[in-house]
Amino acid sequence: METYLLEWAQLLLRWLHVIVAIAWIGSSFYFVFLDSNLVPPQDPILKDKGVGGEMWAVHGGGFYNPQKYAGAPGNINSTLHWFYWESYATWLSGFGLFSLLYLWQAPTFLIDANVFNWSPQAAGVTALVFLLGFWLVYDRLSRALFNHPQGQAWVGGAVLVLVAALCWLANHLFAGRAAFVIMGATIATTMTANVFFCIIPGQRIVVKALTSGEAYDEKALAFYGLRGKQRSVHNTYFTLPVLFAMLANHESLLVSHPQRWVLLFLMMLAGASIRQFFVQKHAWHLGKSAHPWPYALVGVAIIVGLVVALRPSSVASDANAPAVSLEQVQAIVNQRCISCHGAQVQMKNMRFDSADMISANAQNIYQQAVVLRQMPMNNATGITESERQALGRWYLALQPPVKP
């Protein structure tokens, strides 16, 4: 019963998490797009009102004309909409999901004894240190370099080095799948922390000053605007890498690769580069930035390079290798699989505790244990390379010969 309810909890949280993440990233993309496409207004009335940029758009049958105020708007005589629940809900649901899977079921999902053999408590606490630690270091750096002329570039460089180091560390401490999620969650936590600790508090101070009717120091308020913008720009570059890390954790081609930390880092780099292409592309149309294509090319080159580099080597179809019988396969499966897929435990409703069940699932077994190498889970039962090869030869021999 408990497992059954856990499954539901997991499914519902995942659903919620994706919905609110779409709302968050969607509105974030929209505002970045808006900022890059604003043009100075022609209408003198708008200029007098203090509008610094405007844009025209058509959507869903109506025309929209958003305007951005360069400084303080004269007065806000209607509801002021805020954007923070999308971000908080994404973090809360994501953290809930992470706790349910990786902290609660740490021995199954967080720990891979072949990578690093430690207690669930130590592994869980360390995972949390990742989430918190990255934010603390990044936030200190961003503050320290805020007024530096090349501050943004330095923060960018430092974040790259730090993320590479953390990718390495996470993949040497946690199960591959967990390491990817932890890297995604680490950066995503910083994104929400940016909203929670910097962007929204700054906006509250500004709104309070503007609406209180009291005199305020324009320069002091401008600081909050600039800092909010800085953090929001950082968040933009984090989005694609985070989404990749979150999604790729289901892709065993990557998460079970011996050099997976490099793959993860390169793919996140490709994501940030492609995001830069889109950010710059909007502004480039208006002549506000350099040509964006190099960024897209770097991103695509990395992806294509990895697709080529990771192409599967086919199972050795050594003509001299002995044929593998069903009995031999059954012996391997009994030893390596049925502790999780037998009469007592049936992970993912899969049972292989009879020759018939094995034959019926031949393709599944081949796919999971030979092609994807995802099973046995974290290789908990210590399957050997030659056993994988044997499963592969058995399965391939069952296939009808390919006609020339």
Q: Which of 103, 221, 340, 390 binds ligand HEC (CB under 6 A)?
A: 340
Stretch that binds ligand HEC, among 17-25, 183-191, 220-228, 376-384 (CB under 6 A): 376-384
Q: Which of 99, 334, 339, 359 binds ligand HEC (CB under 6 A)?
A: 339
The reply on whether position 365 binds ligand HEC by CB under 6 A is yes
Of the chain, the end-to-end C-alpha distance in Å amounts to 53
Q: Which of 181, 368, 393, 394 binds ligand HEC (CB under 6 A)?
A: 368
In the chain, the largest separation of any two C-alpha atoms, in whole Å, equals 89
Number of residues that bind ligand HEC (CB under 6 A): 18
Six token digits for residue 84: 């923070």
Cβ-proximal residues to 329 (8 Å cutoff; 6+ apart), any chain: 358, 390, 391, 394
The reply on whether position 184 binds ligand HEC by CB under 6 A is no
Distance CA 254, CA 240 (A): 17
The reply on whether position 381 binds ligand HEC by CB under 6 A is yes
The reply on whether position 336 binds ligand HEC by CB under 6 A is yes
The reply on whether position 347 binds ligand HEC by CB under 6 A is yes
Cβ-proximal residues to 133 (8 Å cutoff; 6+ apart), any chain: none
Cα angle: 262, vertex 266, 267; to 5 degrees: 120
Distance CA 309, CA 112 (A): 25
Stretch that binds ligand HEC, among 93-101, 284-292, 294-302, 360-368 (CB under 6 A): 360-368
Distance CA 396, CA 394 (A): 6
Residue 35 or 112 with smaller CB distance to ligand HEC = 112
Stretch that binds ligand HEC, among 119-127, 149-157, 310-318, 339-347 (CB under 6 A): 339-347
Distances (CA, A) of 173 to 119, 262, 286, 347: 12, 15, 47, 25
The reply on whether position 329 binds ligand HEC by CB under 6 A is no
Burial of 4 from C-beta contacts in 10 A (0-12 / 13-18 / 19+) = exposed
Q: Shortest gap between Cβ of 207 and ligand HEC (angstroms)?
A: 46
Residues between 266 and 285 with contacts to ligand HEC, criterion CB under 6 A: none
Q: Which of 115, 298, 303, 350 binds ligand HEC (CB under 6 A)?
A: 350
Q: Which amino acid is at 222?
A: A
The reply on whether position 249 binds ligand HEC by CB under 6 A is no
Distance CA 55, CA 36 (A): 10
- List contacts with ligand HEC (CB under 6 A): 336-337, 339-341, 347-348, 350, 364-365, 368-369, 375-377, 380-381, 383
